[in-house]
Structure formats: structure tokens, C-alpha cells
Amino acid sequence: HGAVTFEDVSFSYDSRQPALRNISFTIPKGATVALVGPSGGGKSTILRLLFRFYDVQSGRILVDGQDIRSVTQLSLRRNIGVVPQDTVLFNDTILYNIRYGDVHATDAMVYKAAKAAQIHDRVLGFPDGYDTRVGERGLRLSGGEKQRVAIARTILKNPPIILLDEATSALDTTTERQIQYALAEMTQDRTTLVVAHRLSTIVNADLILCIQDGQVVEMGTHEELIRIA
Ligand code: ADP
Ligand code: ADP
């Protein structure tokens, strides 16, 4: 589960220059891919097309050999988890925010699942205890805490493919490291596309895709790219 192929994909937001021009690449299932390159190059657009926030204007995107336009939105969302750069939470409890969208789950079910997945301390890991904070409201959380809730939500959903836009925002280094551990755990054995800013993320990726002016200008493992340079 989770192989991703872009076949000759182009996309323009408006009549000005295209954001992606005839991009082709294949990501084997389970691989972690770091999308790197200058701002405005097209990295986020790749994630948006894969999640069908927008549809390709030419070319195709395949997940496990199937054109994503032939798959229902529901099935696509079950297969692809997104951890956004800036998580917006509901002004409701952490549990509510974690189970958001799953109308059949109760707080008790979500709590139990979070414990079983060891999300309660390893991911959420609030210093003063998960148990005392699951009832806390989303709006009261800090940026780093919100991001952990978003990660917890995605882990519980257990999708084979994960998309994440790595925040460059000023998280303190301890929080940042904790979030990185949580992400590393989450992305194990899952196909992951990450818009990468941190060197550690780039170096640890199985594959690096350099995106510039809407094109793939380089692709390879970091050893391969160093050799080329
Ligand atoms: P990156 O993630 O590499 O910074 P993006 O994919 O966000 O790049 O942007 C690619 C190009 O598309 C840029 O020229 C950017 O200005 C443009 N773009 C991105 N989002 C939008 C949008 N919502 N509307 C119009 N143009 C956009
Ligand atoms: P529906 O179309 O029935 O409303 P959704 O497409 O919203 O269902 O949700 C499909 C799956 O994705 C559910 O398991 C839900 O929990 C999960 N989900 C929905 N929205 C989000 C989100 N923003 N972040 C993480 N998971 C979500």
C-alpha cells in the first residue's frame, strides 16, 4: 500500500506561469521523500494535488497504480493523512479534535485507542500529563501542542500515506525534537512526502526530490546527490 506516481503532471493556479510543469516521479511504497527547493518552487502544490485539494490539469497521479480521480474522496482521505503546517483546531476538547470527522467514535473509544497506540504519552506527551489534559480545549494549546494533536489524529487514522508540511515556525528546540520523534515513529513503514526544511529530515529521507520552477531538477538519495554535487 502506498506507492505514489506522478505522470507528466502540470498545474497552474491562474493564467500566469504554471506552478508545476510536466512533473514525473515515482515513490515506492513505504519510502520517505523530502521535497526540497526554493520557496515558490511547487512543493506544497504537489501535496495539494495528491490530496485532491486541487485536480491536475494534465497528466495523472496514481496511488497503487490507480488514478486518484477514479477513487472516492472518502477512500482517498482514508489512505492519505495530512499534517498541515498550521493546525487549526476546534474550540473543543483534545479528544474531540483527535476524533474529528469520525462521527461514530465516542471520547472513551478515542481515549482507549490513543492509549493502545501509545499516543497518550509519546506523542501528546504534555509535561503535566495527558490524562489531565484530554479535556482541554484546542484554542488554549500552544503551536507545538496543536501540532502534536494533529499528529495524534493522523496516527490514529493510520493511513498508508502521510503528507506533511514541516513547520519552519519558531518552536523551541525541545518541542521540535519531541515532534520529530513523534513524526519519525509515525512515518515508519508509511509512504511519506514531507516538505522539508530541517537538515535532519532531509538527511534521513530515503529519497530527496529537488523542486524548482515547477520541475524536478534533481532526485536521488542524499549520497547520490552529494556525489553529483
Ligand atoms: P513551495 O511550496 O515550493 O513554496 P508552492 O507550491 O506553494 O511552492 O507554489 C508554487 C507556485 O504557485 C508559486 O509561484 C506560488 O506563488 C504559486 N501559488 C501557490 N499557491 C497559490 C495559490 N493559492 N494561488 C495562486 N498561486 C499560488
Ligand atoms: P466523511 O466524508 O464521511 O465526512 P471524511 O472524509 O471527513 O468523512 O473523513 C474520512 C476519514 O478521515 C475519517 O476517518 C476521519 O476521521 C478522517 N478525517 C477527516 N478529516 C480529518 C482531518 N482534518 N484530519 C485528520 N483526519 C481527518
Tens-digit pLDDT string for the chain (229 aa): 789 999 999 999 987 789 999 999 999 999 999 999 999 999 999 999 999 999 999 999 999 999 999 999 888 888 999 888 778 899 999 888 988 767 778 888 888 888 877 777 777 777 666 777 888 888 888 888 888 888 888 888 889 999 988 866 656 777 777 777 777 877 888 999 999 988 888 988 999 999 999 999 999 998 998 886 6
Q: pTM here?
A: 0.81
- What is the C-alpha to C-alpha distance for residues 144 and 95, in angstroms, rounded to an integer? 17
- What is the C-alpha to C-alpha distance for residues 115 and 43, in angstroms, rounded to an integer? 34
End-to-end CA distance of the chain: 33
- Read off the C-alpha cell for 214: 515547477
- Read off the C-alpha cell for 107: 471520547
The strand order across the sheet containing 4-11 reads 20-27, 4-11, 58-63, 66-67
Q: Determine the distance separating the centroid of ligand 2 and the alpha carbon of 151, expressed in angstroms.
A: 14
User: Ligand 2 pocket, 163 CB below 6 A?
Assistant: no
Please, are residues 126 and 135 in contact by the beta-carbon 8 Å criterion? no
Q: Which of 146, 157, 161 to mutate to test the pocket of ligand 2 (most atoms within 8 A of CB)?
A: 157
ipTM of predicted complex: 0.66
User: Ligand 2 pocket, 102 CB below 6 A?
Assistant: yes
Q: Which of 12, 35, 44 to mutate to test the pocket of ligand 1 (most atoms within 8 A of CB)?
A: 44
- What is the C-alpha to C-alpha distance for residues 169 and 9, in angstroms, rounded to an integer? 30
